Amino acid sequence: MTEDDARRVAVSLLNSRYPEFAAGDWVISDVTEYDTAWAFSYNSRAFLDTGEVTRALAGNGALVVPKSGDEPWFTWSGADTASQITQGRSAFEA
């Protein structure tokens, strides 16, 4: 799966899950490639435009889009994204 393919998956999922994303108030702020997945960070446009911490999202883990085509999943914000991807989604599910 290419970055463009993964971005389309991420945007589609974020649009359907968060009205703020669909409205353009939240945007993808970064993408990181791992061996098995792409991780998309997102934040509020207001924070990215101003740098004001009070306008940043809090507690939002990255959206992981597996290169295998498996279902995307969100990381926990309190744990390292790379470790979560390495260990796999099931290691962090309750």
Residue 21 lies in a domain: yes
Residue 46 lies in a domain: yes
DSSP element (H, E) containing 33: strand 26-33
Residue 93 lies in a domain: no
User: Which pLDDT does position 77 carry in this prediction?
Assistant: 85
User: Which pLDDT does position 79 carry in this prediction?
Assistant: 85
User: Which pLDDT does position 94 carry in this prediction?
Assistant: 53
Query: What DSSP character marks residue 68?
Result: T
Residue 75 lies in a domain: yes
Residue 10 lies in a domain: yes
User: Which pLDDT does position 92 carry in this prediction?
Assistant: 58
Residue 62 lies in a domain: yes
Residue 94 lies in a domain: no
User: Which pLDDT does position 88 carry in this prediction?
Assistant: 80
Show the domain range for 72: 3-88
Residue whose C-alpha is closest to residue 35's, from 91, 75, 79, 82: 82
In this predicted model, what pLDDT tens digit does every residue of 44-94 receive, in sequence order?
999 999 999 999 999 899 999 999 999 999 999 888 999 999 988 765 565
Residue whose C-alpha is closest to residue 60's, from 85, 40, 87: 40
Provide the number of structural domains found in the chain.
1
